[in-house]
Amino acid sequence: MIELFIPIIALLLSYLGSKYLASALAKRGLTVPDMHKPGTPQVPRPGGPAIAFAIVVALDILYVVTGSEEVLALSLTVIIAFAVGVYDDIRSLKGPVKVALLFTASLPILLLHTYVPLPPFPFAGHLRITTIYPILVFLAIPVTSNAFNMIDIYNGLISGFSAIATLPLFVSFLIRGDMLMVSISLIFMMTMLGFYLLHRNPSKLFPGDSGSLAIGAAYGAIAIIGKVEIVAVVALLPAILNAFFVISSVGGIIEHKEMKKRPVRLNSDFTLVASRESDAPVTLARMLLSDGNLSEKEVVYRFFVLEAFASLLAIITFLLTEVRL
């Protein structure tokens, strides 16, 4: 029963840690300009240490209570992805190098063998893919980490998006009666909510790559360890489609700042507008802005609507895994 109180610890650690980090980073001048606001205010970055600290400490308490290797694997995955993110925040890695380094974050799951190569699929029951499953695990963490990293573009987006995306996983674990995974998914959700309180518009702290990569790795690892892979894929459809549209537009994995043409432009009244240049990357934000100018808050709200819809589809997907044709 104590497992269900640990998420509250994660919420407090995330919120208080973020608050402390924001002030400590500001004092040391570790800030970046928020270009979407009048006067381009300086915002502390990275908030990744507060996110990783909250998740890892809460998971370590859960490990002490349960002794579960799944919790240990998840904790190590987050630490490795966070370390890659810290290096990226300091040195700014090239896209392919970042992906290559993130493969190492899959290793704790593979080495501790905390996966079951029988993923449930709608209408098909449990698939027996023992040979290719470890390869999919190896690929999954870099994919989810980068998908989250690519939507970290507006105030409050990645933290709010992640909290909503965790709901279908939480519901799936609850229906299945897997209380360990219920606790783990709640720890993740509460960490995101704690961080969201400082990350929401107007942001007082940006997650940085250390935050976004740790969030993506944690999400991917929860999906694998909790055996809800297809549910997670559906819940992440907006992020996956965004990544697919960007990669197919620019012809590879590149950093935001490396894009030659901007997908979205900023007006003098600080509203956002979609680029009409034919060779600008097709991103989800550009698509959402195709009707006309919107404020940053309005774009983020539309992202949340998309994610809430994807989460609903994900819950339906989970229910369909119980159906066999």
Partner 1 sequence: MKVPSALVLLLMIMTASWIILIAMTYLIFQVIVPISPPIHSPYSVVLAYAFLKLILAVASFGFWLYSYFLLRDMFVKVKGLNRSPTPSSSDRTEP
- What is the binding site for partner 1 (CB under 8 A)? 33, 35-36, 121-124, 127, 129, 230, 233-234, 237-238, 241, 244-245, 248, 257, 262, 264-268, 272-278, 282, 284, 286-291, 302, 305-306, 309-310, 313, 317, 320, 325
176: helix, strand or coil: helix
If the CB atoms of residues 76 and 164 are measured against partner 1, the closer one turns out to be 164
Residues 236/220, Cβ–Cβ less than 8 Å: no
Strand partners, 126: 120
Residue 71: CB minimum distance to partner 1, A: 29
CA–CA separation, 315 and 167 (whole Å): 9
Q: For helices 69-91 and 133-150, give the axis angle rounded to 10 degrees.
A: 50
CB of 9 vs partner 1, minimal distance in Å: 35
Nearer to partner 1, 213 or 310 (CB): 310
Q: Smaller CB distance to partner 1: residue 19 or 256?
A: 256
Consecutive H or E run containing 273:
strand 272-274
The torsion angles phi and psi of 236, rounded to 5 degrees, stand at -95, 10
Query: Two tokens at 210?
Result: 């250390």
Beta carbon nearer to partner 1, 111 or 118: 118
Q: How many CB atoms lie within 10 A of CB 246?
A: 21
Identify which of residues 181 and 230 has a Cβ nearer to partner 1 in the complex. Answer: 230
Query: What is the nearest approach in angstroms of partner 1 to the Cβ of residue 179?
Result: 28
Nearest approach in angstroms of CB 8 to partner 1 is 33
Neighbour-count burial of 108, counting CB atoms closer than 10 A to its CB (0-12 exposed, 13-18 middle, 19+ buried)? buried
> Shortest distance, CB of residue 52 to partner 1, whole angstroms?
26
Q: How far is CA 174 from CA 169, 315, 317, in A?
A: 9, 11, 15
What does the alpha-carbon distance between residue 194 and residue 198 come to, in Å, rounded to a whole number?
8
CA-nearest of 122, 105, 74, 72 to 228 is 122
The minimum distance between CB 118 and partner 1, in angstroms, equals 11
CB of residue 130 vs partner 1: minimum separation in angstroms?
12
* Least spacing, CB of residue 260 vs partner 1, in Å: 12
Chain centroid to Cα 295, Å, comes to 23
Handedness of CA 188, 190, 194, 200 (dihedral sign): positive
Q: State in angstroms the smallest separation of the CB of 214 from partner 1.
A: 24
Q: Which is nearer to partner 1, 58 or 315 (CB)?
A: 315
Report in angstroms the alpha-carbon separations of 263 from 6, 153, 321.
Answer: 41, 12, 38
